[in-house]
Structure 1
Amino acid sequence: MIRDIDVVVIGGGQAGLAAGYHLRRRGLDFVVLDAQASPGGAWQQAWDSLNLFSPAAYSSLPGRVMPGQPGETYPDARHVVDYLTDYEQRYDLPVVRPVRVEAVHPDGDRLRVGTDTGIWRARAVISATGTWWRPFLPAVPGRTAFGGAQLHTVGYRRPADLAGQKVVVVGGGNSGAQIAADLVHATDLTWVTQRPTRFLADSVDGRALFDHATARRRALDEGSADTGGVASLGDIVVVPPVREARDAGLLKAQPMFRRLTATGVEWADGTRAEADTIIWCTGFRPALSHLAPLGLRGPRGHIPTAGTQALEEPRLHLLGYGDWTGPASATLIGVGRPARDAATAIVELLSLP
C-alpha cells in the first residue's frame, strides 16, 4: 500500500511527539511512525534508578507541563513514560506503531518513506529517531579476548543483576557516574574514565544547563565568541545518588586502562584488575541509517543542517539529535523550540508553488 501525506515524522519518542504537537497546531496532515510497541520512546529502556536532571515543571514538552511525581524532586524514567503516554493521547497524535522505517528515498516532488508495513510518500519528513538505538563501543585492544560479560549503557538495568561481581564501569559522563553510583554498594566496583572527572556544582541541574545551552546558541547566532557550551561547566550533573556516593568517598575514578585481558583490564604500567562484567558507558551515535539513500552524511556521521533543516535536502528536518539540530534538542525541555521551528519551516515550504 502506498499513502500520500504532507509530513511523515519518524520516531515516536519525545522529539517526535513535540513535532506532532506543532504540526497538529498548524493543521497539517501528518503521521508519526514509531518502531516501539508502546509509547515512551527510549525512556522505556532506561535502567531502573534513572531520574531526570530537572524537576518535572522544567522537563516538559510544549503545551503540557509534566506533573510532579509524589516523593521525587527529580522524576524517574517510569514517570516520564507515563507523561509521554498521556501527552500522545491528550493531543490525539496520529502515532502508528510498531512500524520500522527502512529507508527514505527521493521520489519526484516527494520523499518516499519505505517501512516494514508499506510506503508513505511525504512532502516533508522529520527524522526524530534519536541516538539510544545506536550505542557506541570504542575499539579498545583485547575487547574480543575478554571472557566475562560486556554491556553497554542500554543493557544495564539494576544492581541486583550484578550483585557480588567485580564490575568495571567505563565512562566519565552522566550515565557512567550514575551507574557507578548505582553499583557501588552491590559490587566490587572499578570506575574508569578517559580524563579526570569533572562534577558540576551541586546547585546545577537541567534548568541551568538548558539556559546555558540557549544562551550559547543565541551568542553564536549573533556572532559573539563561543562560550564552550554546557561542556565548559563540567561533565557530570550531581544528582542525589551521585552526590551521596561522591561525598562518602566511594566514587573515585581510575584513568583509562590500556587493554582488556581474558580476565579483566590492564593499565599502561602493568597494573591489572579482575572483572566479571564490563559496562561501557561510552555514548551513542545518531541513528540515521534510514536516511542513507539520500547521501547527506557529513563529518562525524552528522547531516549538515541549518537549524533542523538539511542543507542539501530542504524537505528533510532532523530533530532531537543534540545541539547540532537545536540547543539542548535531545532533552524534554529543549526539543520544543526546534520542533516549532521545523513545523514553521515545513509550512513555508509546502506553501511554495
Structure 2
Amino acid sequence: MTRHVDVVVIGGGQAGLAAGYHLRRLGVDFVILDAQDTPGGAWQHAWDSLHLFSPAAYSSLPGRPMPPQTGQMYPDAAHVVGYLTEYEHRYELPVHRPVRVSAVHREEDAFLRVETDSGTWRTRAVISATGTWWRPFLPAVPGRSGFRGRQLHTVDYRGPRDFAGKQVVVVGGGNSGAQIAADLAYDTELTWATQRPPRFLADDIDGRALFDAATARRRALDQGRADSGGVASLGDIVAVPPVREARDAGLLKASPTFAHLDRDGVVWADGTRADADAVIWCTGFRPTLGHLVPLGLRGPRGRIPTVGTRAVDEPRLYLLGYGDWTGPASATLIGVGRPARDTARSIAELLTER
C-alpha cells in the first residue's frame, strides 16, 4: 500500500517531535514514523542513573516547558520519557509506531519514496531525525575479540548492580564515561581509561552554558569570525552531582588508554596490565543514516553535507538533531527547537514553490 503526504519525519524522539510541533503550527500535512513501540525516543533505553545536565526549565522542547521533577534539580531519564510522551499527546502529533523505515528513494517526479515495514509513503520532503543512539561505535582495539570477559557499550549499561565486586574497565573520557564510572566507583574494582586526562567543567556550568557556548560558536563561524571553540573550549565532562561526589571522594582517577586486550584484561604499552571481568565502552556513536544510503549522499566521516539542516545534494531532504553539523546543540532537548523551526519554515517554502 502506498500513501501520500507532504512531509515524512523519520524518528519520533525529541528532534522528530520538535519538527512536528513547528510543522503543525504552519499547517503542513505530515506524519512521524517511529521505530519504537512506545514514546520517549532513546531516553527510554538509557541507564538507570542517567540525569540531564540542565534543570527542567532549560531542557524543554518548543511550546511546552518541561515541569520540574520533585526532589531533583537535574531530571532523570524516566522524567524525560514522561515529558516526551505528554508532549506528543498534548499537540496530537501524528506518530505512527512501531514503523521501521528501511530506505528512502528518489522518484522520477518531484517525490521521494519512503519504504517501511508497513507500507510505502510518497512525499515531497523528508526530515531524518533518527539520532545516533542506535549506532554505537566500538573502536578497533587489538585483542578485543579474544577477551573472555563481558563487553558492553553505553547503550547496554543499566546500572551497577550487575557488577558489584567485579573488576570493571570503563573506557571513555566524555560525559557517559564519567557518569558510568561514577556509578561503578563504590562497589567495583574500577579502572577508568581515557585518551587524555579528564577535563571537568567548572562545577557551576551545566547545559545552559553549554547551549550558549555552542550557539555563540555557530554564530561566529557564520559571520566569518574566529572559531571560539564552543563547548570543547570549556571541557569534556559536566560535573553533575554524582560525578562531582565520586571525583571529590577521590574515586575517579583516570588511567591512560590501554594498548590492547588479552584474554583476561587490558594491557598498556609498557606491559602493565589489569584483570577485568567486564569492559564498558563509552566510546560514542555515529549518526543512524542507513535508510538514506540509496540517495548516495554520504560525505566525509559518514555525514551528509548540509546547509543548515538541508542536504546540499538533495533539497527535499533535511537532517535534524544529529549534532552541531545540523544546528548548534541540536542533539539536545533545548537545542533542537531552533533548527526544527528553521527546517519547518524551509519546507513550507519548498511546498509553496511546488
Question: CA shift at 1:322, angstroms?
Answer: 0.1
Query: Hey, what's the Cα distance between the residues in 1 that align with 2:224 and 2:190?
Result: 46
Query: Number of paired residues?
Result: 353
Residue 113 of structure 1 is matched in structure 2 by: 114
Stretches of structure 1 that go unaligned for 5 or more consecutive residues are none
Residue 13 of structure 2 is matched in structure 1 by: 13
Residue 3 of structure 2 is matched in structure 1 by: 3
Q: Over aligned residue pairs, what C-alpha RMSD do you find?
A: 0.5
Residue 237 of structure 1 is matched in structure 2 by: 238
Matched-pair identity in %: 77
Letter in 1 for 2:171: V
Query: Hey, what's the Cα distance between the residues in 1 that align with 2:149 and 2:83?
Result: 38
For 1:321-341, what per-residue CA distance to the aligned partner results, in whole angstroms no more than 9, with x for missing partners? 000000000000000000000
TM-score w.r.t. structure 2 length? 0.99
The reply to whether residue 78 of structure 1 matches residue 68 of structure 2 is: no
Query: Hey, what's the Cα distance between the residues in 1 that align with 2:346 and 2:156?
Result: 38
Letter in 2 for 1:305: T
Letter in 1 for 2:290: S
Query: Hey, what's the Cα distance between the residues in 2 that align with 1:237 and 1:170?
Result: 17
Question: CA shift at 1:195, angstroms?
Answer: 1.1
SS at match of 1:63: coil
Query: Hey, what's the Cα distance between the residues in 1 that align with 2:3 and 2:268?
Result: 57
Greater Cα offset, 226-235 or 284-293: 226-235
Residue 289 of structure 1 is matched in structure 2 by: 290
Residue 337 of structure 2 is matched in structure 1 by: 336
Question: CA shift at 1:228, angstroms?
Answer: 1.1
Letter in 2 for 1:163: A
SS at match of 2:37: coil
The reply to whether residue 43 of structure 1 matches residue 43 of structure 2 is: yes
Letter in 1 for 2:177: G
Residue 104 of structure 2 is matched in structure 1 by: 104
Question: CA shift at 1:196, angstroms?
Answer: 1.2
Q: How does 1:100-179 map to 2 (within 5 A)?
A: 100-107=100-107, 108-179=109-180
Query: Hey, what's the Cα distance between the residues in 2 that align with 1:246 and 1:177?
Result: 9
Runs of 4+ in 1 over 2 A off after TM superposition: none
SS at match of 2:74: coil
Residue 351 of structure 1 is matched in structure 2 by: 352
Question: CA shift at 1:229, angstroms?
Answer: 1.2
Letter in 2 for 1:88: E
Stretches of structure 2 that go unaligned for 5 or more consecutive residues are none
Question: CA shift at 1:48, angstroms?
Answer: 0.1
Letter in 1 for 2:232: A
For 1:53-86, what per-residue CA distance to the aligned partner results, in whole angstroms no more than 9, with x for missing partners? 0000000000000000000000000000000000
Residue 254 of structure 2 is matched in structure 1 by: 253
TM-score w.r.t. structure 1 length? 1.00
Letter in 1 for 2:12: G
SS at match of 1:144: helix
Residue 62 of structure 1 is matched in structure 2 by: 62
Question: CA shift at 1:232, angstroms?
Answer: 1.0
